[in-house]
Amino acid sequence: MSSRLNPYISFNGDARQAMEFYKEIFGGTLTMNTFGAFGEKEAGDVADKIMHSMLETDSGFTLMGADTPPGMEHKPGNNISVSLSGDDAGELRGYWDKLSAGGTVSVPLDKQMWGDVFGMCTDRFGITWLVNISEQQT
């Protein structure tokens, strides 16, 4: 898989409805994973909320979204970030190093509960970046 750059939208508890709405508009394949599917079963209401979703359309569009995680503030107007993802660890780590330099790291680039390496930072211009390095399938 080559690296991909696309918008990532944070929602205030209605990611499922929003992503289904975008699927109706753009078509394509929608995948959704809940917080509960990744071990947050004891977290009450959040277990059924969307931890990550991705809509891939026949036109080549990719849109990702999720409900704002517990402990993070949802800020309408500032709820869109940029996602960089793929399986070329060297390329993506290089982007991470440059994007996070002089910025703020909110989630260090490290192995996550879903098995990938992930990090989140805000660059020196105030843009939030999500970097996800997929484990290569053998």
* pLDDT tens track for 113-125: 899 999 999 998 8
DSSP 3-state assignment of 36? Answer: helix
* pLDDT tens track for 4-39: 999 999 999 999 999 999 999 889 999 999 998 887
SS (H, E, C) 55-91: EECCCCCEEEEEECCCCCCCCCCCCEEEEEEECCHHH
| Mean of pLDDT values over 93-108 | 95
- Strand pairing class (62-67; 4-11): parallel
All residues at 6 or more sequence positions from 110 whose CB lies less than 8 Å from its CB, including other chains: 117, 118, 119
- Strand pairing class (29-34; 117-122): unpaired
Confidence bin at 77 (pLDDT 50/70/90): confident
More confident residue, 44 or 43: 44
What confidence score (pLDDT) does residue 131 get?
A: 96
What ranges in the chain are assigned the alpha helix state H? Answer: 15-26, 89-100
Among residues 15, 36, 11, the alpha carbon closest in space to that of 113 is found at 36
- Two tokens at 54? 């991705």
